[in-house]
Chain A
Amino acid sequence: MPESKLDLLQGTLDLMVLQTLAAMGRLHGYGIARRIEQVSGDAVLLNQGTIYASLVRLQQRGWIAAEWGTSTNNRKAKFYSITKRGRKQLSEDAAYWQRLSDVMGRVLALPEGSNNK
């Protein structure tokens, strides 16, 4: 299945959300967005709204759970947490990303025109 650029980005964002929830525990959408911004700058999240499509997708796959709750300063918000299946998925995806980035790193490290020398 050929993956479009958007799909690749989607996958990246999904993985970040999972990792964030795994690391931080229960968070609302704003919290997740802020956390990702802090870690990555604007490299992944062009704007914060993008997060919600990712959240509903992960929810439908059963990787995260959601419930309405109250924030520290008494605001009503929807809180997300990672599920058991989500953790499993995260470890698989993280391992895959690790492998991929190793391979990419090695490939990109090849000096240009090295076979001529």
Chain B
Amino acid sequence: MTDRFRRFFHRLRSFFGRTKQDRELDAEISAHLELAIEENLERGLSALEARRQALVRFGGQRQTRERHREARGLPLLETLLQDLRFALRMLGKSPGFTAIAVLTLALGIGANTALFSVINGVLLNPLPFPNANRIVAMFQDKPNFPKGSISYPNFLDWRQDNRCFASIAAYRWADGTLRGTGEPEEVRAQRVSATFFSILGVRPILGRNFTEDEDRRGANPTVILSEGLWKRKFASDPNILGKAVNVGGAARTVIGVIPTSFRLHIQNFKTADLYEPVGQDEDEKFHRRDSFWGMDAIGLLKPGVTLEQAREDMKRVNSGLAATYPDIDADIKANLSPLKEEIVGEMRSVLLVLFGAVGFVLLIASVNVANLLLARSTGRRREFSIRVALGAGRAQILRQLLTESVVLALLGGALGLILANWGTSAALAAVPRTVPRAEDIGLDPRVLLFTLIVSVAVGILFGLVPALKISGTDVGASLKDTGRAISMYRSRTQAVFVVGEMAMALVLLIGAGLMIRTLAYLWGRDPGFDPHNVLSFGIDPPPSLAAQPPDAIRAELGEIHRVIRSTPGVEHVSFDWGALPMASDDEVGFWPEGQPQPARQADYASTLEYVVEPEYLQTMGIPLLRGRFISDADDKRSERVAVIDNSFAQKYFPGQDPLGKHVKIFDFDADPSERTWIAFTIVGVVGHVNQFGLADDATQPLQAQMYRSLMQGSDLFTKNAAQGLAVFARFHSSLSSQAFFETIRSALVTHNGQMIVSGNESEEEIVAHSIANQRFSMALLGVFAALALLLASVGIYGVLSYLVGERRQEIGVRMALGAKEVDVLRLVLSDGARMTLVGIGIGVVAAVILTRLMAGMLYGVAPTDPVTFAMVALFLSGVALLACYIPARRASRVDPVVALRYQ
């Protein structure tokens, strides 16, 4: 072992100390020769003869040096370096070729690196939690919502009865109004079970996690701050523990600080500024088995338990609940999925489709460079023939050529890395909130390794065909340099390349075309309301308001409404409590008049519920179809009224006039003593609003929508509304939504300094965000397809130019024999057209197979949509013919005399 090491060390040293050793050997050789000459002279030979014999006896000095080098050095490394140096020299000699090849490869490799870094960050990297593969997301599967909310009593029973989880923890949104520390403001707050952070393996940097004792009603109210909030609002106060903070109108004692490194974004949970124990909720309704307050859970599987076992176990738990609470839990189901699936969601299939697409771009880039190398080989054929004649083996030439192409690819890879790094951050910034785990995306060692491997593989891939062709060249033939047969052979290879490029470009263009059609379809869909010039934001009145009598609250809400209404530029305003279009869902159980009351609560029909004001319809631009909307006259003293949408009418009053009919709603919001079924008279029918986003609304089972008057809410409801409401305001089209929001905000803060106004977003943004995934896919596929189109056009242009150059003589002869410019033009164009059409034919077949993979991303268009296929094929043919036209034109201008003299 040490021996081998010593030898290697010697070899390495002589590898680097090459020149010194060479000089020593030279000195040794001359000493040798002098000694020999001296001896020969002593033997009586003439000076000349003595020298001659010494040289003869010594033998070839060159071979001696080479054998010496081989014996002492690292021959493989040395050859490699020699090849590398030679490759760099050759590339440096033709900077134009090198620049184009490197740039082409950089685009291809860069696009792949960028997408791989996204896939690596989102799909491959484990979640940043110690037991990530044992963490499961839990939902309650309900008829209208497979990922529905869990009620707190059900959650407690799940936790107690299951046998396969080490622990489960619930979480939901919380009121994050923060007062008493600087400016009042709304921060993100979450309520979590005591074990929430320990399941995720997150440790506070200060203080401790919640305890089970804190996680129940009547416990001392506590709060955990995030590191960010602690720094920003409390100047990183090291003595923060034990201090009181006013959150959501109540004082809470700080018990810990959670590090910034903790990040999680799933349904109903987003990394927050502060956390409260979920079980402390004093609201009686929260603890009802039939309330669904937007609460989900995570669970930590016991070691060795599979997800399947957990699902079986939860079935057992739920059948127990169904037996105990048949009225509510009759059909209760648990929906379990790995936490990572939950975070990544549908992005997985999108990313894989995009990765396939970007792979095609790289292939096209490689083919282009291979074509360039083939064309270049014309000029180098003699160079290699001479080397072969001088004794270089085929393997040596192959090695040299492959070294050159790998060097090219590595240069391209290095540049591609820079492009990818820059492009990824630019792309992620352009589509915020679309890609999950965006913070985990970056160039880590795995991405660098990927780029290296791809570069080397691509270098060999595109280098191999030209290298095999050149190194297989018949020496004698190319030295004689008629070269006819060879170039015919090569042009066939080039034609195959072009056909392949066209086919791949067609597949990508069709993919992009399908996404464009999808987007056009989605944008063309009627959202059911007019999102232009509508602003949505939230208000949190001071906590003292909720403590006042209901009528005072109603009066103050009316006052706030007037303040907003009188802001310059406001056209219509409405509060909304309940569901918000494309932003948040709220459902209520009911039964329509004339039908028997269902025996079990689980059997009631469901409708989305919007509790609004009279101007809501004008604010949102929703059409009134029949009857009237809610009016100012519908208040606490008058008959309770409801307005339904046409889906509701069709589903529950088919073929009848719904006006004047009644629906009965269980009044959750009444005081517990006076809860009852309340009848609402239907006074109007309005258009259906797209609640679940442009892409997904039609596939959601819950379609019925109902509007009620905010001013007809019960006293308890009014108290809840006083703690926070959503506001929609339609403004004059001359204003920008941001400026408009600032005007309203300052008017409201002037009205009451303790008011918090936050979360503004224009309805246009909300609508656009509902199809963010599709826009993301379209943008990337579009970029890739454009790149493919450009590269393929350059490819066909290059090949035709080359062929025209080769056929100059033939064209000259034709023209001398009377062919017209048009004939030549047609001759060359038909060559290009043949390659294009064959490519498109193959591409169509490939696309029919491949676009099926993106069926899940498409809306309103079939994966094999004939219109898209035809348009794209026409478009690509047009571009390709345009690319062919330039060389064809050049050919038609050939002067027969010059052409015939050529060669």
Contacts and interface: CB of A to CB of B under 8 A. Distances in A.
Interface in A42-70: 46-50, 52-54, 56-57, 59-62
Given A48-B58, A50-B59, A52-B67, A57 B32 contact: no
Nearest to A29: B32
Nearest to A61: B7
A30 B31 CA distance: 8
Contact of A47 (B24, B57, B68): B57
Contacts of B70: 53
B440 interface: no
Nearest to B54: A48
A26 interface: no
Contacts of B59: 46-50
Contacts of A30: 31-32, 35-36
Interface string A59-93: 11110000000010101111000000000000000
Contacts of A60: 6-7, 10-11, 71-72
B314 to A, nearest CB: 63
Interface in B18-73: 24-25, 27-29, 31-32, 34-36, 38-39, 56-61, 63-64, 67-68, 70-72
B3 interface: yes
Contacts of A61: 3, 6-7
Contacts of A46: 59
A48 B32 contact: yes
Contact of A50 (B35, B56, B67): B67
Nearest to B57: A48
A53 B32 CA distance: 14
B28 A49 contact: no
B35 A71 contact: yes
A49 B29 contact: yes
Contact of A29 (B28, B39, B71): B28
Contacts of B71: 53-54, 56-57, 60
Contacts of B64: 49-50, 52-53
- Do most interface residues of chain B lie in helix, strand or loop, or is the interface mixed? helix
A77 B72 contact: no
Contacts of A75: 31, 34-35, 38
A49 to B, nearest CB: 4
Contacts of A52: 25, 28-29, 64, 67-68
Contacts of B24: 78
A50 B29 CA distance: 11
B41 to A, nearest CB: 11
Interface residues of B, number: 30
B193 to A, nearest CB: 67
B63 A49 contact: yes
Interface residues of A, number: 26
B734 to A, nearest CB: 87
A56 B72 contact: yes
A74 to B, nearest CB: 11
A57 B60 CA distance: 19
A26 to B, nearest CB: 15
A78 B31 contact: yes
Contacts of B61: 49
A15 B57 CA distance: 21
A49 B31 CA distance: 12
Contact of A76 (B6, B10, B31): B31
A49 B65 CA distance: 9
A47 B28 contact: no
Contacts of B56: 47
Contacts of A29: 28, 31-32
A77 B28 contact: yes
B58 A47 contact: yes
Nearest to A85: B3
Interface centre among B27, B36, B71 (most CB of A within 10 A): B71
Contacts of A50: 59, 64, 67
Contacts of B38: 73, 75
Contacts of A31: 35
Nearest to A78: B28
Given A47-B57, A48-B59, A62 B28 contact: no
Contacts of A78: 24, 27-28, 31
Interface string B312-343: 00000000000000000000000000000000
A78 B70 CA distance: 20
A48 B67 CA distance: 13
A81 B863 CA distance: 82
A49 B7 contact: no
B78 to A, nearest CB: 15
B673 to A, nearest CB: 96
B371 to A, nearest CB: 42
A76 B28 CA distance: 9
Contacts of A77: 28, 31-32, 35
A33 B70 CA distance: 20
Contacts of A33: 32
A110 B35 CA distance: 47
Nearest to A77: B31
A10 to B, nearest CB: 9
B303 to A, nearest CB: 50
A29 B28 CA distance: 8
Contacts of A57: 71-72
Nearest to B7: A60
A21 to B, nearest CB: 16
Nearest to B34: A75
Interface in A7-55: 28-31, 33-34, 46-50, 52-54
B67 A53 contact: yes
Contacts of A54: 71
Nearest to A58: B71
A62 B9 CA distance: 12
A73 B58 CA distance: 20
9 contacts: A28-B35, A47-B58, A48-B59, A52-B25, A60-B11, A61-B7, A71-B35, A78-B28, A78-B31
Q: A-B pairs with the 7 shortest C-beta distances?
A: A47-B59, A49-B64, A53-B67, A60-B10, A30-B35, A53-B71, A77-B31
Given A29-B31, A53-B71, A54-B71, 6 more contacts: A28-B35, A30-B36, A56-B68, A61-B6, A75-B38, A77-B35
